[in-house]
Amino acid sequence: MLDTLLKIGAWQQEGMSEWDPILEKPSVKYETKKGDPIKNYAIGIVFDLDEMDVYPDKNLLKEYDEDRDPEKFKLISTLPGRNKAIYATVEEKKIVQLFKTFLGNPSKGDLQSGELIEAIDNDFEKYKKTKFYELVADLFGLRDIFLEKIWDEKKDKADFKRILDPIDFGRNENVALVYGAIKSEKHGYPSATPIAHINDYISFLRDKFLDNTETDLLESDKLCYASGEILDDVTELDLSTRYSLNKMFVTSTQNYASLFNKSLFNTNYQISLENQSKLDLASTFLLENYKIRIADIDHVIIPQLKWSDNPDLDLILERLKTSADLLFSFKALSEVTADIEIDVEGIYWLNFVAFESDGNFFKTISIIKDVSKFHFESVIEAFEEVNWKFRELKQAVDWDSATKNYGEVSFFNLNSIYGLIPIRKEKEKKNVALQLFKSILEQRTVEKSQLFEFFSELMLCHYYERYNSYTNIRKYGKDYFGLAIRDSVFKYFAFIQVLKKLNLINMEEQPQTTTAKESAKEYERQIQDFFEKMSFNDHQKALFFLGRMLNGVVYLQQGKNKTVIDKVNYNGMDRDDIVRLRIDLFEKAKQYNSTEKVVFDDSRFGQHFDFENWSMNQQEAVFFILTGYSYGIVKKQESNNQSN
């Protein structure tokens, strides 16, 4: 993976200016959801030492240029942790950093200067003798005036966006960038001048971020652990941000580095300065553009590429992101046709790195590794084929209704499956859905008993409405339990078909005994078609017909508070439980003088049920009973179409 990161970093360096690696690039929108244009602006806030005032100047308002303005106004990325604020330009949501730079921490009293002065005092003493230092020191006298303008009396705290209130922005107008400007006859700035254009400030930034004098201090050539080459600029790894793929090491917390000698960190983590820059760039690029959610966990995609073929990285990575979204994200079916080009040339393997981060630390929690490009594409193709196959089973299930979420018919993929794997809120760290997806992508067999355990737990969740304990499970109201069964059963069925296509599950299929289609009635013909498409064995057919009996009796009991559906044990049913349920269903049909509702299905149950040689898993039995129960439920979801 390091080789990939270095190559992507080198690719990112192409055409970059010396400032690009340390610049922030605000995320801006150029149109509303309705397609109306949005205008984005850069605005200057004037620190006016002549009038002792602070205000936004309409004369400094300009339309934001995302290609030029970050460098023009030196929009430096916010430094992590306890670093002093040294920013002359910020994003609109970070105006507090502009305040801290020149006027100090707003929550602290008894201050003598802003944080830029502190940074110079601590590490850049040569600037203490400059006119720029005197200018910045004088700005501190505007602290109380600035605070007064942004203070929210009702909330009793500062609201930094209030400083922009004098400018009347329209409904579809946004501020992307805010820069400080100085106006002072005393200091030689009779008109408002961006602080980012003052030579001493630019020199300060260059010394802090771009100075390469460290290279001159290195004693000799050393081995760079990232590239495996002997280079002359090797030193201890010192990354520019804590939110980094490369921040998978520690030097400050000894408990996490217990096997290392702390005096040898500079040897254990030695890497060239040039390669550090490449790793930083690659990490930033991938985390900003190739982060996805798998089983509700953040992952970043790191491909292993065919570098010998001089790959077109733009095209490869764009297609890769499209394919990953198709497999892992919620996608409306209407969007899929344009995205279904999934063949990604130039890739050998894929790695999906799961991580936790709050921006100040980066912790890898799992890796789905060495996923073959061909297998990855096969998984997507299997889901696509099964999705269209189930849309054709119109007599068995209304698949579009079963897969509807957020008002949209969704594409069936691993994101759909995540909503079927119950994950207890208190056990979120042990994400069984992520473990299942890891097995699938790494081509390891999935045990069918595990799937039916998940299904059993899912049915118990719906039956007892335990949605507060399983936050990833979609909520169904009490009146929609039948649809909850239908949706769950057929999505599991579809998932099993996907696993079969990928040869990742053994359903222990037995020889089938079928009735000739030519002599069957229409209803029976449709069921036989379904059996053949789903590869049912005799045991599964028996339980399917028992489920049809259950459906018939529940229909007879419409309007009753308690129905025979309550006789199903969702924890699992053994042979004797199955026999008792059959007897109870027939007796209940007798009570309603409607044995004709169940007699056909009862006879078919008897035809396929092998009492003496019954060995089916108890939870699997529940699944196939409920398959028969939900077969043919095509009622549209209405008020139930909700998601937690």
Q: Are residues 257 and 315 in the same domain?
A: no
Greatest pairwise CA separation for the chain in angstroms: 103
Model confidence at 608, pLDDT cuts 50, 70, 90, reads very high
Contacts of 376 (CB under 8 A, 6+ apart): 323, 327, 350, 441
Q: Are residues 243 and 333 in the same domain?
A: no
Tokens matching residue 633: 């439920």
Q: Are residues 188 and 252 in the same domain?
A: no
Lowest mean pLDDT among 65-79, 216-230, 537-551: 216-230
Lowest mean pLDDT among 58-62, 147-151, 234-238, 633-637: 633-637
Where is the domain boundary, 468, 501, 534? 501
Question: Mean pLDDT across the stretch 103-116?
Answer: 91
Question: Could you tell me the residue range of the domain that residue 381 belongs to?
Answer: 290-501
Percentage of the chain beyond pLDDT 90 is 50
Judge whether 639 lies within some domain: no
Which residue would you say has higher pLDDT here, 272 or 256?
272
Judge whether 511 lies within some domain: no
Model confidence at 264, pLDDT cuts 50, 70, 90, reads low
Question: Mean pLDDT across the stretch 323-348?
Answer: 67
Model confidence at 226, pLDDT cuts 50, 70, 90, reads confident
- CA–CA dist 438, 369 (Å, integer): 8
pLDDT, tens digit, for every residue of 473-494? 999 877 788 889 999 999 999 9
Model confidence at 7, pLDDT cuts 50, 70, 90, reads confident
Q: What is the DSSP string of 129-185?
A: GSHHHHHHHHHGGGHHHHHHHHEETTTTEE-GGGGGTTS---TTEEEEEEEEEEEET
- CA–CA dist 633, 487 (Å, integer): 10
Judge whether 640 lies within some domain: no
Tokens matching residue 95: 């105006």
Give the model's pLDDT for residue 335. Answer: 62
Question: Mean pLDDT across the stretch 439-450?
Answer: 94
Judge whether 237 lies within some domain: yes
Pairing label, strands 173-184, 39-48: parallel
Judge whether 62 lies within some domain: yes
Which residue would you say has higher pLDDT here, 320 or 517?
320
Q: Are residues 481 and 415 in the same domain?
A: yes
Q: Are residues 139 and 250 in the same domain?
A: no
Q: Kindly tell me if the per-residue pLDDT of 13 is higher than 80.
A: yes
Q: Are residues 38 and 97 in the same domain?
A: yes
Q: Are residues 489 and 607 in the same domain?
A: no
Give buried/exposed letters for 602-640 (b at 16+ CB in 10 A, else e).
bebbeebbeeeeeebebbbbbbbbbbbbbbbbeeebeeb
Give the model's pLDDT for residue 336. Answer: 56
* Number of compact structural domains in the chain: 4
Give the model's pLDDT for residue 640. Answer: 44
Give the model's pLDDT for residue 428. Answer: 64
Give the model's pLDDT for residue 362. Answer: 81
- CA–CA dist 449, 441 (Å, integer): 19
Decide if 413 contacts 383 (C-beta within 8 A).
yes
Question: Mean pLDDT across the stretch 572-587?
Answer: 94
Residue 565 DSSP class: G
Decide if 257 contacts 266 (C-beta within 8 A).
no
Residue 564's φ and ψ, nearest 5 degrees, are: -70, -10
Which residue would you say has higher pLDDT here, 239 or 559?
559
- CA–CA dist 547, 552 (Å, integer): 9
Which residue would you say has higher pLDDT here, 588 or 516?
588
- CA–CA dist 602, 594 (Å, integer): 13
pLDDT, tens digit, for every residue of 355-410? 988 777 788 888 999 998 889 989 999 999 999 999 998 888 888 888 887 778 88
Give the model's pLDDT for residue 338. Answer: 47
Q: Is 395 helix (H, G, I), strand (E, B) or coil?
A: coil
Q: Are residues 120 and 168 in the same domain?
A: yes
- CA–CA dist 240, 23 (Å, integer): 12
First CA to last CA distance, the chain: 37
Model confidence at 311, pLDDT cuts 50, 70, 90, reads low
Q: Kindly tell me if the per-residue pLDDT of 211 is higher than 60.
A: yes
Give the model's pLDDT for residue 156. Answer: 80
Q: Kindly tell me if the per-residue pLDDT of 343 is higher than 70.
A: no
- CA–CA dist 72, 64 (Å, integer): 11
20: closest CA among 71, 64, 67? Answer: 71
pLDDT, tens digit, for every residue of 410-438? 889 999 999 999 998 876 668 999 999 99
Judge whether 637 lies within some domain: no
Report the run of H or E that residue 396 belongs to, with start and end.
none
Q: Kindly tell me if the per-residue pLDDT of 252 is higher than 70.
A: no
What's the Cα-to-Cα distance from 124 to each of 196, 236, 375, rounded to whole Å?
18, 22, 55
Q: What pTM did the predictor assign?
A: 0.74
Where is the domain boundary, 285, 317, 340? 285
Model confidence at 187, pLDDT cuts 50, 70, 90, reads very high
294: closest CA among 500, 472, 443? Answer: 472
Q: Are residues 455 and 559 in the same domain?
A: no
Q: Are residues 313 and 425 in the same domain?
A: yes
- CA–CA dist 299, 353 (Å, integer): 5
121: closest CA among 109, 136, 110? Answer: 136
Model confidence at 341, pLDDT cuts 50, 70, 90, reads low
Give the model's pLDDT for residue 422. Answer: 93
Which residue would you say has higher pLDDT here, 322 or 595?
595
Which residues are registered as beta bridge partners of 428?
none
Question: Mean pLDDT across the stretch 236-248?
Answer: 71
Judge whether 25 lies within some domain: no
Q: Kindly tell me if the per-residue pLDDT of 160 is higher than 70.
A: yes
Contacts of 197 (CB under 8 A, 6+ apart): none
Judge whether 591 lies within some domain: yes
Tokens matching residue 78: 């916010």
Q: Are residues 475 and 382 in the same domain?
A: yes
Decide if 223 contacts 234 (C-beta within 8 A).
yes
Where is the domain boundary, 258, 285, 312? 285
Give the model's pLDDT for residue 250. Answer: 52
Q: Are residues 486 and 397 in the same domain?
A: yes
The chain-wide mean pLDDT, for the chain, equals 85
